[in-house]
A and B are shown apart, each in its own frame.
Chain A
Amino acid sequence: EAGVTQFPSHSVIEKGQTVTLRCDPISGHDNLYWYRRVMGKEIKFLLHFVKESKQDESGMPNNRFLAERTGGTYSTLKVQPAELEDSGVYFCASSPRDGSYEQYFGPGTRLTVT
């Protein structure tokens, strides 16, 4: 079974530009999560989708971040315009619908804003 995949693996952009990160969850997983780790800090929750609906977006830092999951399959996270403090590793995770708390993480996208 394929795991969670993320694209791109690395992205280097200039301040003010736009970047879109993509996550493909494990097939059949209704729950999809985005997390972020900035340098020197712990991994922090950004938001949670159940299918195409946003269940919890309490971790989104500000309105420069927009997450979508049209059709309830893959998800995108757009940062527009990017700021220096957005640099970090963005992880996506998915879990099945059975209420299990175990989440399966993708390899992450390393974003560098210069």
Chain B
Amino acid sequence: RKEVEQDPGPFNVPEGATVAFNCTYSNSASQSFFWYRQDCRKEPKLLMSVYSSGNEDGRFTAQLNRASQYISLLIRDSKLSDSATYLCVLGGYGGATNKLIFGTGTLLAVQP
């Protein structure tokens, strides 16, 4: 079983739509959770960290459910520029390493 599971998509949505991505993880020892964004043939870039209390950054809302080992990302009022792959990422398994564990990503295509 993969450590991080994501629906690969693609999610094809019209501009202005609300879209939600989900991610599940298998290691309950994970301490940090992130959503990264990766544009085609580019490097991953941190979109936002995810906290149990939920956090919001503009049109983006992230939520963590530790009991269910589930992370979500909600994008409201989608823009064409939101088209990218969204990576669910875990970190902080303890010990001295800060390695990140990536999901395969969910592809979002926002249509005009």
Contact = CB atoms under 8 A, between A and B. Distances in A.
How many residues of B sit at the interface, in one of the four size bands?
20 to 34
A59 B100 CA distance: 11
Nearest to B31: A101
B99 A42 contact: no
B43 A45 contact: no
B98 A31 contact: yes
For this complex, into which size category does the number of interface residues on chain A fall? 20 to 34
A95 B102 contact: no
Contacts of B96: 50, 55-56
B21 to A, nearest CB: 15
Interface of B: 2, 4, 32, 34, 42-46, 49, 87, 91-92, 95-105
Shortest 5 CB-CB contacts between residues of A and residues of B: A56-B97, A105-B43, A43-B102, A45-B99, A101-B91
